[in-house]
Chains A and B, each alone.
Chain A
Amino acid sequence: MSTATVPARAPKRGGVTVAASGSNRPSRSRARRSLLTAIIFLAPALFLLGVLIGYPVVYSVWRSLFDASGDNFVGGANYATMFTDPATFVAIRNNVIWVIVAPITCTVLGLIFAVLMNRIRWATAFKLIIFMPMAISMVASGVIFRTLFQENPDLGAVNAGLVSVHSAFSGGSAYPGARPRDDSGLEGTGGSIRSSTSVPTGGSQNFPLVGILGSTLPAGATDAVEAPTAKPTDISGTVWLDFVKGGGGTNGQVGDGKKGLPGVTVDAIDASGAVVASATTANDGTYDITGLASGSYRVGLPATNFAAAYSGVSWLGPTLVTAVIILAYVWIWAGFSMVMIASGLSAMDISLQEAARIDGANEWQVFRRITAPLLSPVLIVVFITLIINVLKIFDLVYVIPPGSSLPDATVIAVQLWTVSFGGGNDQGLGSALAIFLLILVLPFMIINVRRFRMEREQ
């Protein structure tokens, strides 16, 4: 540290001579010469910084006070529009969500990875895998995540995974779109199908259904048969597809190769509407609800039998698109915080922790009182870097959402582009948004300068 700061802040040699003796011609000319050299060395940098960063800041402040045409002074009107216009307000709201969620998630994941990584033999490979997305452009990452989260479960990997997990748990026995054959004594209400009249115990209730493609039946389905006569405490019957390919057969009657519907849940419902017992149909479509108290019941097939097949989640729709984009961001930046924190951990002197443990401190005390404070400078640097970065986020938000959900995903930087280049053509409002962004970053500039000064005074 001392080698880094002493020569930089203590201009002992040249500086002191210049101040002490103005008449000392050799050192005065030397000082003048070093000023000239400094100007030559600095000129290209200062020119580019001045023209491409300095001037634009000043110009933007000025421009933000004028209207879209740039001719009329409007004062703070653009800044007022920013908070009242629904589109820019959504952008500001989303930026707040981003700043709250993304940096914390990245830092916490990075901390967990960095701590756990030291415990495995393939730490280098793990580090490279997590860190690699940092090398990929946000555009390419956007393409990746947009493909992964496509809504069609045949194309989007995430929905494909969800659908297969879902069908593994629900048994995959749904008959979407099935409805009762007309005039079969059945009624369909709210997606469920039930008998129109009550059935006494020992009786039977058949369910001839239509509206299902024969080709979509489960492989195990066999020809439907009449259920055997029910015992006095049972209600039995058959659920079948009341349709013969190529025509023929009698409507409402089994036979002629009509297939039973296996796996359908059948409920017995009492007078109060409560389900008292249920059964599931066999491969030939027969069911037998047993153990019923003597009386009469309505028999019904609940709506779960006929719900449309689960087709995943609309990830890129208006409600979830921001979550997906933040996930893509975390995928890219978790590696950054992991690498930073890992180097902080490895540079740490562990003798303090050892001493505390010998003095009887428990692990939580060691972490809270020693490890965390020692690691906090690194955590703060990571956190601040991520916040500055997240405030300016553009590419991912511009690339991932389909056009229809972009207005719901928009952030300040995207809105700035939209209003001033992407058709809005209002560079007054655009400049106001740019200055707003600059103001948001201002506290972190001050922190940077303070940190720099503190380092130099050490």
Chain B
Amino acid sequence: MTVDLGIVKAKRSVAGRILDFFGKGVMNVVLIIVAVFWLVPTIGLFLSSLRSSTDNSQSGWWTVFTRPAQLTIENYTNLLGNSQFMGSFLNTIEITVPATILVVVIGSLAGYAFAWIRFPGRDWLLVVVIVLLAVPLQVSLIPIARLYGSIGLFGSILGVILFHTAYGLPFAIFLLRNFFTQIPGEMLEAARIDGASEWRIFARIILPLGLPAIASLSIFQFLWTWNDMLVALIFTNATSQPVTVAIQSQLRQFGANIDILSAGAFLSMIIPLIVFFAFQRFFVSALLAGSTK
């Protein structure tokens, strides 16, 4: 009898015991407090973006709870009419979309070669790719700034796209190669026996079956490129800069213009947040698949 009780008691986990000690209510309260702390910064930014510059220079965003009348969409209408800001918004899209597509296309070609084509030095080359995974992109800034300067790519959107593509590739190759190797070899062998070319196998078997991994990679690369500032800060100019650089240069006169800044920052977050919430599962599996970037 006592022995039985002992076992039942011992079966409860550490977390279970903590739970019993504090009670479920306390656990919920603690996690609600944590969640509120995590949400407040973003909510504060959002509320600031809905207040006029006068209000923002005199009081904090929390006063909207006592004086909701101050809310206005003026900052957003101003920004949408600001051609320079909207230009930088377009630049972000013009950089992010091609950089994502290029990484997916080039990465899946290389991933297929590493997974299913036998050639001398393949394992050695794969180790090189894994080494490149951790190279800090700062190493390339100075040499590529010189190179782009001499071939006329400096200040162009193409230069930024190529840079992001190159630094996205090691992760893309690693992720896709790992996924492609799990595709049953009999399918490819059967296709080869039927006389299908490597191109055909790649397009008809690998790409459709590899779609989950390609989706993960796309989400990851999209968010990565969209949110970059450093690369664009160096390789773009006033007409080709993306929204992150535009916000950053506004920060230089910080204090006077938190309303523009908060509205701009919030606008720049909307698309990544939509992508994130819609495809969260793919983003997580990209992180799980090879988190070394």
Measuring CB to CB, which residues of chain A are less than 8 angstroms from any residue of chain B?
A: 3-5, 7-9, 11, 14-15, 31, 34-35, 37-39, 41-42, 44-46, 48-49, 51-53, 55-57, 59-60, 63, 113, 115-120, 125-126, 128-148, 154-157, 160, 331, 336, 339-340, 343, 353-354, 357-358, 360-364, 366-367, 381-382, 384-385, 388-389, 391-392, 394-395, 398-399, 402-403, 413, 416-417, 420-421, 427, 430-431, 433-435, 437-438, 441, 444-445, 448-449, 452
Known A41-B112, A417-B234; further 20 A-B contacts with Cβ < 8 A: A5-B181, A34-B118, A39-B119, A44-B110, A48-B106, A48-B165, A48-B169, A117-B31, A125-B35, A140-B268, A143-B45, A144-B42, A147-B48, A155-B60, A385-B291, A391-B136, A395-B230, A399-B251, A416-B141, A444-B134
Chain B nearest Cβ from A226, distance in angstroms: 42
* Distance A198 CA – B241 CA, assembled complex (angstroms): 74
Query: Are A41 and B110 in contact, CB atoms less than 8 angstroms apart?
Result: yes
Query: Are B144 and A56 in contact, CB atoms less than 8 angstroms apart?
Result: yes
* Distance A384 CA – B115 CA, assembled complex (angstroms): 26
Residues of B within 8 A of A11 (CB): 118
* Distance A38 CA – B109 CA, assembled complex (angstroms): 9
Q: Does B68 contact A (CB under 8 A)?
A: no
Query: Are A120 and B27 in contact, CB atoms less than 8 angstroms apart?
Result: yes
Known: A136-B227, A340-B291, A441-B136. A147 touches B7 (CB 8 A): no
* Distance A238 CA – B255 CA, assembled complex (angstroms): 45
Residues of B within 8 A of A118 (CB): 15
Chain B nearest Cβ from A441, distance in angstroms: 5
6 A–B contact pairs at CB < 8 A?
A: A4-B181, A49-B132, A140-B269, A445-B133, A449-B131, A452-B130
Query: Are A445 and B131 in contact, CB atoms less than 8 angstroms apart?
Result: yes
Query: Are A53 and B132 in contact, CB atoms less than 8 angstroms apart?
Result: yes
Q: Does B94 contact A (CB under 8 A)?
A: no
Chain A nearest Cβ from B118, distance in angstroms: 5
Chain B nearest Cβ from A33, distance in angstroms: 9
Residues of A within 8 A of B72 (CB): none
Most A CB within 10 A of own CB, among B34, B258, B262:
B34
Chain B positions 74 through 116: 1 when the CB is less than 8 Å from some CB of chain A, otherwise 0:
0000000000000000000000000000000011011011111
Residues of B within 8 A of A388 (CB): 134, 292-293
Could you say which of A9, A132, A143, A403 contacts B276, with CB atoms under 8 Å apart? A132
Which 4 A-B residue pairings sit nearest by Cβ, starting from the closest?
A137-B227, A52-B166, A135-B276, A56-B143
Residues of A within 8 A of B269 (CB): 135-137, 140
* Distance A126 CA – B277 CA, assembled complex (angstroms): 13
Most A CB within 10 A of own CB, among B14, B15, B272, B292:
B292
Query: Are B226 and A56 in contact, CB atoms less than 8 angstroms apart?
Result: no
* Distance A126 CA – B48 CA, assembled complex (angstroms): 24
* Distance A4 CA – B116 CA, assembled complex (angstroms): 11
Q: Does B214 contact A (CB under 8 A)?
A: no
Query: Are A437 and B118 in contact, CB atoms less than 8 angstroms apart?
Result: no
Residues of A within 8 A of B127 (CB): 449, 452
Query: Are B247 and A139 in contact, CB atoms less than 8 angstroms apart?
Result: yes
Residues of A within 8 A of B106 (CB): 44-45, 48
Query: Are B118 and A57 in contact, CB atoms less than 8 angstroms apart?
Result: no
Residues of B within 8 A of A145 (CB): 41
Residues of A within 8 A of B54 (CB): none
Known: A34-B118, A129-B38, A398-B248. A55 touches B143 (CB 8 A): yes
Residues of A within 8 A of B50 (CB): none
* Distance A358 CA – B288 CA, assembled complex (angstroms): 33
Could you say which of B60, B145, B288 contacts A340, with CB atoms under 8 Å apart? B288
Query: Are A382 and B27 in contact, CB atoms less than 8 angstroms apart?
Result: no
Chain A nearest Cβ from B93, distance in angstroms: 14
Residues of A within 8 A of B283 (CB): 134-135
Could you say which of A140, A382, A392 contacts B138, with CB atoms under 8 Å apart? A392
Chain B positions 45 through 73: 1 when the CB is less than 8 Å from some CB of chain A, otherwise 0:
10010000000111111100000000000
Q: Does B139 contact A (CB under 8 A)?
A: yes
Residues of B within 8 A of A434 (CB): 136, 138-139, 141-142
Residues of B within 8 A of A420 (CB): 141-142
Query: Are A4 and B143 in contact, CB atoms less than 8 angstroms apart?
Result: no
Chain B nearest Cβ from A18, distance in angstroms: 9
Chain B nearest Cβ from A47, distance in angstroms: 9
Query: Are B182 and A362 in contact, CB atoms less than 8 angstroms apart?
Result: no
Residues of A within 8 A of B292 (CB): 384-385, 388, 444, 448
Could you say which of B24, B134, B291 contacts A381, with CB atoms under 8 Å apart? B291
Query: Are A63 and B143 in contact, CB atoms less than 8 angstroms apart?
Result: yes
Q: Does B152 contact A (CB under 8 A)?
A: no
Q: Does B209 contact A (CB under 8 A)?
A: no
Residues of B within 8 A of A444 (CB): 134, 292
Look across to chain B and name the residue whose beta carbon is closest to the beta carbon of A339: B284
Query: Are B131 and A53 in contact, CB atoms less than 8 angstroms apart?
Result: no
* Distance A118 CA – B234 CA, assembled complex (angstroms): 44
Residues of B within 8 A of A51 (CB): 147, 166
Chain B nearest Cβ from A93, distance in angstroms: 18
Query: Are A8 and B115 in contact, CB atoms less than 8 angstroms apart?
Result: yes
Residues of A within 8 A of B132 (CB): 49, 53
Known: A139-B229, A340-B287, A437-B139. A41 touches B117 (CB 8 A): yes
* Distance A38 CA – B269 CA, assembled complex (angstroms): 40
Look across to chain B and name the residue whose beta carbon is closest to the beta carbon of A41: B113
* Distance A41 CA – B42 CA, assembled complex (angstroms): 44
Look across to chain A and name the residue whose beta carbon is closest to the beta carbon of B37: A331
Query: Are B247 and A140 in contact, CB atoms less than 8 angstroms apart?
Result: yes
Chain A nearest Cβ from B55, distance in angstroms: 11
Could you say which of A7, A129, A358 contacts B7, with CB atoms under 8 Å apart? A358
* Distance A358 CA – B251 CA, assembled complex (angstroms): 61
Chain A nearest Cβ from B25, distance in angstroms: 11
Residues of B within 8 A of A42 (CB): 109-110, 113, 125
